[in-house]
């Protein structure tokens, strides 16, 4: 799976962009479209989501790796699809992440396309993970946590684990200074989860 591309924005209309990369144009949907300027070169993080209605994949683009992670987490929440997740991210991924991390149910439920039930599901599903990532009381620790979890995520991808497994592990592991320790923790968590879900005979 391609998780990012380097390219140039050659077309922009509303939330739709065309990113040209090595002679190929990719139609990409983004949140907070004002961040993207025509004719600029950048590294675009990508998520390919299958559209059941169109029977094809839609490509969603993100300026930040952690924005992509938050998007993937949101669409795994019951009742949140890709389009709703992108509309939520129009409020700024860091703002949304902080609302989730601090369990700010009242403000989250007032965002466009988020009702009370959705807000409750988002916080119940994601608060533990994003509280660990954001750690809003200490910006230096936040940056350290983001880098550590990003390294773990990339390592697990290289080992062949799926996004859902990685997301589960990142929400449970204890952050340490040793990448190897965190990867080992993650593999054990995923393995234990697999054994819990295996049908008994």
- Structure pTM? 0.69
Q: Is the pLDDT score of 27 beyond 90? A: yes
Question: What was the pLDDT predicted at 143?
Answer: 61
Tell which CATH classification among 1.10.3720.10, 3.40.50.720, 1.10.150.20, 1.25.60.10 matches the domain 66-127: 1.10.150.20
* Residue bearing the bigger pLDDT, 59 or 193: 59
pLDDT digits (tens, 9 = 90+) for 54-108: 778 999 999 999 999 999 999 999 999 999 999 999 999 999 999 999 999 888 9
Question: What was the pLDDT predicted at 141?
Answer: 61
Tokens, residue 95: 């703002």
pLDDT digits (tens, 9 = 90+) for 128-179: 899 888 875 455 566 667 677 878 888 888 888 888 788 788 877 887 778 8
Tell which CATH classification among 3.40.630.30, 2.40.50.140, 2.70.70.10, 3.40.50.720 matches the domain 4-62: 2.40.50.140
Residue ranges per domain, the chain? 4-62, 66-127, 138-201
């Amino acid at each position: 799976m391609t998780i990012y591309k380097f390219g140039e924005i050659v077309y922009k209309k509303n939330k739709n962009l065309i990113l040209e990369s090595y002679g190929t144009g990719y139609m990409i949907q983004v949140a907070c479209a004002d961040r993207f300027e025509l004719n600029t070169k950048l590294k675009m993080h990508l998520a390919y989501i299958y559209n059941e209605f169109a029977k094809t994949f839609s490509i969603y683009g993100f300026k930040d790796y952690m924005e992509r992670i938050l998007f993937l987490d949101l669409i795994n929440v019951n009742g949140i699809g890709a389009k709703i997740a992108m509309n939520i991210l129009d409020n700024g991924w860091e703002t949304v992440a902080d609302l989730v991390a601090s369990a700010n149910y009242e403000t989250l439920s007032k965002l466009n396309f988020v009702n009370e039930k959705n807000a409750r599901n988002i916080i119940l599903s994601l608060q533990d993970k994003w509280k660990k990532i954001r750690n809003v009381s200490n910006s230096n620790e936040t940056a350290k946590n983001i880098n550590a979890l990003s390294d773990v995520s990339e390592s697990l991808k290289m080992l062949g684990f799926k996004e859902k497994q990685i997301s589960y592990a990142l929400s449970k592991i204890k952050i340490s200074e040793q990448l190897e320790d965190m990867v080992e923790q993650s593999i054990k968590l995923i393995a234990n989860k697999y054994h819990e879900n295996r049908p008994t005979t």
